[in-house]
Chains A and B, each alone.
Chain A
């Protein structure tokens, strides 16, 4: 039987058999993202023996570790980009991929992120952005939308969020794209471009967290969260012709630098 590339059967070989079941909550977008990353790798035919996945603390850090059957380095909170810096500088043959959540990559790790982008280091950073600290109970992060309810913003988030993709683009990254786990085919294409890209590639992935974010913000079911991405994400190309009023509350998706 021929197993089509990028299919569920085809990507199972990239997963350590002992790592199931995944630790993710029902409806978590990280499982979709995990599948998208492995499908991108499978379709490209990348050699897992030359790949290194570095991740930090939190739900996003568990996407590659222990699941991915390759070298994986699961490090201290916020520092995966800095650990990856040492590995890729010493062995440039490694295909280094950092995977982490928004709290890990953009809050505690924000300094490493912008400096790695500035240096245009040859690595791919995938930020699983669910706008919340999932594992520690749903506290506010630097990407939580203004006014959103979290465990530490009982009257709604008073702080405006980072636009991560534009931040990293401004810092000097040579490939930047943003999609949600609803936009699965363009996401896989973007991941493939990022994995093949020479230089600093950043892919921001809006991921669903019905358990910690959705239930506090009127998006209590997995399906409702995914539909929210479908309704609020606008491709950069289409946004050009839209008025500021039409774009209010929307999130731009697509390639910011490519």
Chain B
């Protein structure tokens, strides 16, 4: 058999993925720290004060990356869910359930920082604007996913039921993403676009992108840590778990 093919599927089993994840986690934490410190430094000390919004705009260094991550994590979760449903792989379901709490956290953070920003800028904590509402729905979808999984005792059934829900809910992602284009409500347009040159100062953009990378690395590190815990919990009867140095009783 082709050697490369084996390597592709090698880490699809919890037994081989567990040590790999353990080796990767410190690296992702280190990258989180590097990107986070650089991003925060640029965000708070280098980036100029905004002409219209004063210092308050600096919350976008948290708000925008959190919003991006909340949508992206859902897509990744749905991707793993589809993979798990299609190929009946165990690890995909575990990945999906490991991602959900981080996604919920990001959606909550996005809503919360948005409210903190909205009070001085718009004069209100909350408006029933299309983007805010669809982000709130995304938060509810995460909560629904977590609630459904925790209501089902059988882990395999929980994975599959959650996968169906994740795939049904994925229609919401394009709605959030395009909401500022489709409905001209209070929320300002997209801050960053791939097709036109950025409308904000270079340093602001750099700060935001570095923070986005930091959030990205954080999400990966936390999800891997969580998936390790899920693997240990579900595979506790397997022989290889008892062989692990951190499990073995002295």
- A and B from one complex: no
